[in-house]
Homo-oligomer: A and B are copies of this chain.
Amino acid sequence: MTGLDALLADVGRAFPALRLLTDPTDREGYRHDETAYMEAGLPGAVALPGSTEEVSTLLRLASTHRVAVVPRGAGTGLSGGAAGIEGALTIVLTRMNRILEIDPDNLCVVTQPGVINAELKDAVARHGLFYPPDPASYESCSIGGNLGTNAGGLCCVKYGQTRDWVLGLEVVLADGTVIRTGGRTVKDTAGYSLTHLFVGSQGTLGVITEATLRLRPLPGPRATMLAFFGSLAAAGHAVAALTRAGLVPVTLELLDHETILAVDDAHQLGLDRAAAAMLLVESDAPGTAAAAELDAAEAAILAAGGTSIVRAQDAQEADWLRQARRLALRALERQGTVRMEDVGVPRARVPDLLAAIERIAAAHGVRCATFGHAGDGNLHPNLVFDRDDPDAARLTHVVRDEIFRAALDLGGTVTAEHGIGAARREWLPIQKGEGAVAAMRAIKGALDPLGILNPGRVL
């Protein structure tokens, strides 16, 4: 009997009603996350627990039987962090999908990890409250996955990443111990911040079974604007000019020429197809300050070489302009296989990063469409290949490595919001240095001495 068989037998005795998938066809659905082009293992079994107690028992038994565990949310990750490990136990948190309490007086929400980001946003909005983090997949990704990867999104430029919105967690440790790292008190400096450590650790240090998230008052409707540019450099300079003008828009997104064409081909939005780049700029400042912020942005953009500006006159038009960015990835996916990367640099280095990406893609004859969160220095270069291109994997590897090197040379990161996962492991010591990674390994060893939690991910 393998360790997994023994674990399953013990689990069956402890929780006969626990949802367990053992059929290979069922398990196959948990092999990949959204990086289907990466190799991944077939889980030996998939558990869908309904309670912290069940998660705790699963981890305790996994420790007893030395079985590797992959914690997983909605499976929308882009780093292979929740992909299967051959023969391991995948623990899927999607059934723990209740919002436990919305607390307007304390500006927070207590939630289980399986709740979908958009559902949480909608639920708190009904109380006049706002949960900012908005990954592009917000309609399908889960809060647990957001916590695991420290997910970002479009409004990070103003509101930061997932980690910035977490007050406290309930976490099941590798041996099954359940701890709480914080609660509804926003200001707390007692002991080490385990909350911040677990967020972004991609299930390698524990399994998050509950979270208390900060909220803000819901801002008013956004003022929305598109700006077009004759060169990528001009768009990059406009981003820098907005920063220098002291503006903090809630959205500051860039689309390059390839992306503009793909979106316009797919959806006929009437974009300026001749433009080399486009910026989506939004303000959620209160009252008349929103229009004033866009006025200031418009002036800075035109001074930086913007060629034309489109401003939404109402909410419907704003939605329409916003679509150009929201539909970008799907539009590219219509045209072939897309390998999306996630580099970040200090925001003033965006023009340099854009130039480097263009240069690298051209040197290898690879089509690359870049869009992303220019306002915080985070760009997504998307390598687009014909579906049957036999050279795609090799070229991806070569181009990706050069783009990573370029981002690091600019003082940046190989992953701004998707996570190291399985996809970028070899780059962690190159970016952070051996000493910092040794410290991370020491922490991993301290909290997961048997190494059962998502082995081979992050570190």
Q: Which residues of A contact B (CB under 8 A)?
A: 103-108, 128, 149-150, 152, 156, 161, 163-164, 173, 177-181, 183-194, 196-197, 199-201, 205, 216-218, 240, 243-244, 246-248, 285-289, 292, 344-348, 373, 376-378, 411-420, 424, 427-428, 431-433, 435-440, 442-447, 458-459
> Can you spell out 30 A-B residue pairs with CB atoms less than 8 angstroms apart?
A103-B348, A105-B346, A106-B348, A107-B243, A149-B189, A150-B189, A152-B189, A163-B196, A180-B436, A181-B432, A183-B346, A184-B411, A186-B346, A186-B377, A188-B412, A188-B415, A189-B413, A190-B420, A191-B428, A192-B197, A192-B201, A193-B196, A194-B439, A196-B197, A197-B443, A285-B289, A286-B289, A287-B292, A442-B447, A446-B446
- Chain B neighbourhood of A414, CB < 8 A: 190
The CA-CA distance from A191 to B156 in the complex, in Å, is 19
Supplied contacts A177-B435, A179-B432, 6 more A-B pairs, CB within 8 Å: A179-B435, A181-B436, A191-B428, A288-B288, A443-B443, A445-B446
- Chain B neighbourhood of A419, CB < 8 A: 189
Q: Are B180 and A217 in contact (CB under 8 A)?
A: no
Q: Are A193 and B416 in contact (CB under 8 A)?
A: no
The CA-CA distance from A185 to B437 in the complex, in Å, is 18
Q: Are B435 and A178 in contact (CB under 8 A)?
A: yes
Cβ-closest 10 pairs across A and B:
A217-B246, A196-B196, A105-B348, A446-B446, A184-B346, A442-B446, A188-B413, A187-B416, A179-B435, A179-B436
- Chain B neighbourhood of A246, CB < 8 A: 128, 217-218
- Chain B neighbourhood of A458, CB < 8 A: 191-192
The CA-CA distance from A194 to B288 in the complex, in Å, is 41
Contact of A344 with B188 at beta-carbon distance under 8 Å, contacts A105-B243, A183-B411, A194-B440 already known = yes
Q: Are A244 and B104 in contact (CB under 8 A)?
A: yes
Q: Are A416 and B189 in contact (CB under 8 A)?
A: yes
The CA-CA distance from A285 to B248 in the complex, in Å, is 13
Contact of A415 with B189 at beta-carbon distance under 8 Å, contacts A246-B128, A435-B179, A447-B443 already known = yes
- Chain B neighbourhood of A378, CB < 8 A: 187
Q: Are B164 and A189 in contact (CB under 8 A)?
A: no
- Chain B neighbourhood of A459, CB < 8 A: 191
Contact of A344 with B187 at beta-carbon distance under 8 Å, contacts A105-B243, A197-B192, A289-B286 already known = yes
The CA-CA distance from A285 to B413 in the complex, in Å, is 33
Q: Are B105 and A185 in contact (CB under 8 A)?
A: no
Q: Are A411 and B191 in contact (CB under 8 A)?
A: no
The CA-CA distance from A164 to B416 in the complex, in Å, is 17
Give chain B nearest CB distance to A456 CB in angstroms. Answer: 14
Q: Are A156 and B187 in contact (CB under 8 A)?
A: yes
- Chain B neighbourhood of A424, CB < 8 A: 190
Give chain B nearest CB distance to A100 CB in angstroms. Answer: 14
- Chain B neighbourhood of A428, CB < 8 A: 190-191
The CA-CA distance from A290 to B412 in the complex, in Å, is 36
- Chain B neighbourhood of A216, CB < 8 A: 248
Q: Are B436 and A191 in contact (CB under 8 A)?
A: yes
- Chain B neighbourhood of A184, CB < 8 A: 346, 411
Q: Are A194 and B163 in contact (CB under 8 A)?
A: no
Q: Are A173 and B106 in contact (CB under 8 A)?
A: no
Q: Are A189 and B200 in contact (CB under 8 A)?
A: yes
- Chain B neighbourhood of A185, CB < 8 A: 344-346, 377, 411-413, 416
Residue of B nearest to A286 (CB): B289
- Chain B neighbourhood of A443, CB < 8 A: 192, 197, 443, 446-447
Q: Are B418 and A180 in contact (CB under 8 A)?
A: no
Give chain B nearest CB distance to A195 CB in angstroms. Answer: 8
Contact of A163 with B193 at beta-carbon distance under 8 Å, contacts A179-B439, A181-B436, A185-B377 already known = yes
Give chain B nearest CB distance to A229 CB in angstroms. Answer: 19
- Chain B neighbourhood of A411, CB < 8 A: 183-185
The CA-CA distance from A185 to B416 in the complex, in Å, is 9
Q: Are B187 and A376 in contact (CB under 8 A)?
A: yes
The CA-CA distance from A205 to B104 in the complex, in Å, is 37
Q: Are A189 and B292 in contact (CB under 8 A)?
A: no
Give chain B nearest CB distance to A353 CB in angstroms. Answer: 11
Give chain B nearest CB distance to A198 CB in angstroms. Answer: 9
